[in-house]
Every structure is written in C-alpha cells, then in structure tokens.
Amino acid sequence: MAQVLEFKLPDLGEGLTEAEIVRWLVAVGDVVAVDQPVVEVETAKAMVEVPCPYGGVVTARYGEEGTELPVGAPLLTVAVGGTEPTEAPGSDGTPAPDAETAADTAVSSEYSGNVLVGYGTAGPAARRRRVRPANPAVPRTSAVRTPVAPAPVAPAPARASASAAAPAPLPVAVAGHGPVPVISPLVRKLARDQGLDLREVRGSGPEGLILRVDVERALAAPEDTAAAAAPAVVTATPAPAAVPAVPAAARAGERIPLRGVRGAVAEKLSRSRTEIPDATCWVDADATELMGARTAMNAAGGPKISLLALFARICVHALARFPELNSTVDTAAREIVRLPDVHLGFAAQTPRGLVVPVVKDAGSRSAESLTAEFARLTGAARDSALTLADLTGGTFTLNNYGVFGVDGSTPIINHPEAAMLGVGRIVPKPWVHRGELAVRQVVQLSLTFDHRVCDGGTAGGFLRYVADCVEQPAVLLRTL
C-alpha cells in the first residue's frame, strides 16, 4: 500500500522566510522521480526551481500560482510505494479549504535520495491527529490545531434573557490585549497586508480560532466589521477602544502587495535609510577622452569593451586608493570592517524589478573579463535566472542610471555596503576645454557614502580621482 508523504517548502537559505509560487511543474496524478523539480518559486532574491526529495505519484498540491507560502508550509503530497494516486485533501489539484493550517499537520518519513538544503534527515515523526472542528461551519477536511495560547476569556455574568433563545452561541471576537487565536502565518499576513485588525474579526474555528475565511469575510464587508466584532457576552471590564477601520476611500485604490523582489527592495532601502547616515557629493566630468579611448580599443579587434566595464575598472583603482569606501559597519561590535577584495555590484532593471547582481573579484579582472561578466549577469537577470550567489556578497555598487536618460541622482546605499557611485547620461554640452569654449561629452558623477566610515574629504578625494580618470584615462597607466 502506498504511503503518502508531505513535502514542505524548504529553507532556501540567505534568511529567506517565504516564497511565491510562480509555476507548477507537475500536476496531480503525475509520477515524479527523486529530486525532480516540481515547482518554480520566486523569493526575495531569485527565481528557483524546487526539487522534491520523494519519488512517487503526486496526490495533492497546496497553493495556486501567485500564492505566497512561508518556509515549512506544505507544497504537495506524494504517494510512495504504489502506482495509483491516493486520495488526499485537495487531490483535485486545488488546496484544501483551510490549506494554510495544514502546515501544522506535517507528515514526515525517511526517504532515499540527495539531502537538499533545509529538508533535514530526521527519522519519521509521529503523525499529528486531526482535530475535528467543534463548529459545524468549519469543513471536516480542514486540518486545525488548537492554538497554544488561546485568548483568556473573562468570567461571564448572567446572560440577558434574550440570549437564551439563540439557536447557537456565536464565536466571540478578541478583546483587550491578549494573544489573537490564529495559527497560520498566511492568515496573519493577509490581514496585515490589508490593514485589518485581527482583534475585530470573529473566529469561526475551535475556541474562536481565526481562519482565512473569517478574514476574507471581514475584508469583503468592511462596513460591517465593527458590528460583527461586538462580543456576544458582555464582560465585567469594558474593552479598550477598537482600532479605527481603514477608510473606505483608502480601500478603493489599487493595492499591490510588497512581496517578492519588490518587497525585498523596499525592506533593504528602508533599512539603509534607517541605519546609514548617508551623504552625497557630485561632480561633472568631461568624458570625451574616455569615449575616444573606448572607440580606439574596440577598433583594435578582439572582444568589445563596454562603457560600464571601463567605469568598473576606474572604481576598482579608486577603491585601492581610498579603501575606506570598500567597507561595512559592524554595528554590534561598533567597528568598521575594511574588506580586502572588491566584489562590484551593479544595478539592473528587470521585468521583476530592480536587482543588484555582483561581479565577484572585480579587482582582479580585465576590461574584457568585466564586460563578459556584466553581459552574463544582465542576461540572467532579464531571464530571472540569477542565483543567490549572483546576488549576494557585494562590497561596492556601481549604478548607471544614465541608461534611463537622466543626468543625476542621489542613490540609496545598498545595505550593508558603505558607498555607491552613480553615473548619469553622457551628452554633448558646452565645456571650457584648454581655455576655449567647446562642445564636449559631459557626464555627471555622484557618490553616496556612509558618513560613519569616512568624512567628506575622503569621499571628495575618491570622486575627484574617478572624475580625473574619466577626463584623462591615461591616469590609470600609473596604477599598472
């Protein structure tokens, strides 16, 4: 007889706690092999295919495409040791009515095959017994566990005579400052994203447990939320004033969840502005000679050299002279950590949002090697094929916002780095050259730096050296 094993969303590393289902690679009834990719998910770092450690027949999938799941939540179940699909909740290919609570009813077992990150190798765990809901409104197929710390219920005085005629007691809303009876992190996140206070929601599960259907019902009828949240039993101590509901006008606008890449960008930029006392300085530079040098290099044959690669070479040499900017701040130890190698990140705009791939060991690469690596990482970014290694470990960032047709910017530092160089568009402008007015190719350069690692003199020296190299590329010959 086939044994049904549950495969959960594994720990994908880098401190990631959730992932969004982008595309299912298998359907219910499909036969899968050990370590076969079964689903494509998007994390805050990259798009990855998740392999299943079991071999057998897929009996259920949990979560539709576009659903965000926390690490440890069920992805699918597989019947191992048989050839026919085994009936399971949601075996029609859709999640069970309360699939978010299934994360607390794990079924694990020993298996053969490669051990993947976060899958674990522990022996079989005891099967948790499903608890039948006391409330008939809850489907019997829901896997619900009694919350660890249910909200304390105040002693009830005598009920009004009218309450005796009520056919059945209604679940009460949470009052006061006690814990909210909700297990699923998906339910908490849904309420948080929609600005809904869970203390105003009636829980239809056992002992007032709040389920997804309760939150969706409250969101569907915001005008009735306050009335629905009124407790069925009058307590001796009056409850504190409820948090005001979100105005209807605010709910009418389009809501875009801050998750995936957009959520990761928002979190990192907010952390940067919160923790880093940044400052920005900028300068205009005559890039005519640099453009001419690039033209001459590409005319000599061999691999073409990109303009971004030349700016990367300039940054590497400037960081060798001003190592304070190739550092990070250890806030716990109250120390500045100067990093020995330059791993150069560069901002890349993709259909999924802004990402910052990292060119490893940029200080030891030639212009040709930098050009090739920039091209590889840019292509991978556009194809959503960047790995976690491609997106981590940067020590300094180069931001070429000139591709958007703008001249200047005050970029936000890519936390936990200490600086970022911005490059605007290169355009013909009037310029005094050798004492005469001429039309030259001018670029604006901006440097945003962490004022904790250095003062303005160091930052200005770095930026001035970069501008000198742009105006006179021969300056680089002194570093060879």
Is residue 4 a contact partner of residue 59, using CB atoms and an 8 Å limit? yes
- Using CA atoms, how far apart are residues 318 and 419, in angstroms rounded to an integer? 12
DSSP, collapsed to helix, strand or coil, labels residue 1 as coil
Distance (Å, rounded) from C-alpha 39 to C-alpha 8?
12
Q: Do residues 202 and 172 make contact, with C-beta atoms less than 8 angstroms apart?
A: yes
Question: Does residue 451 have an active-site annotation?
Answer: yes
- What CA–CA distances, in Å, run from 377 to 356, 369, 384, 405? 10, 12, 10, 22
Dist. CA 324–CA 299, nearest whole Å = 37
Q: Are the beta carbons of 407 and 419 closer than 8 angstroms?
A: no
3-state secondary structure of 233: coil
Q: How far apart are CA 273 and CA 467, in angstroms?
A: 27
Joined together, the tokens standing for residue 351 give: 């259909």
Q: CA–CA separation, 367 vs 358, rounded Å?
A: 16
- Element at 268 (helix H, strand E): helix 260-275
Query: Do 86 and 4 contact (CB within 8 A), yes or no?
Result: yes
Q: Which residues pair with 5 in a beta bridge?
A: 78
Cα 332–chain centre separation: 24
Spatial distance between the Cα atoms of 349 and 382, rounded to a whole number of angstroms: 8
Burial 408-434 (b: 16+ CB within 10 A, else e): bbebbbbbbbbbbbbbbbbeeeebeee
Contact 316, 362 (CB under 8 A): yes
Q: How far apart are CA 326 and CA 243, in angstroms?
A: 46
In 324-414, alpha helices (H): 367-382
Residue 104 backbone zone (phi > 0: left; psi -120 to 50: alpha; other: beta): alpha
Burial degree of 319 (CB within 10 A; 0-12, 13-18, 19+): buried
Which residues are identified as catalytic? Answer: 451
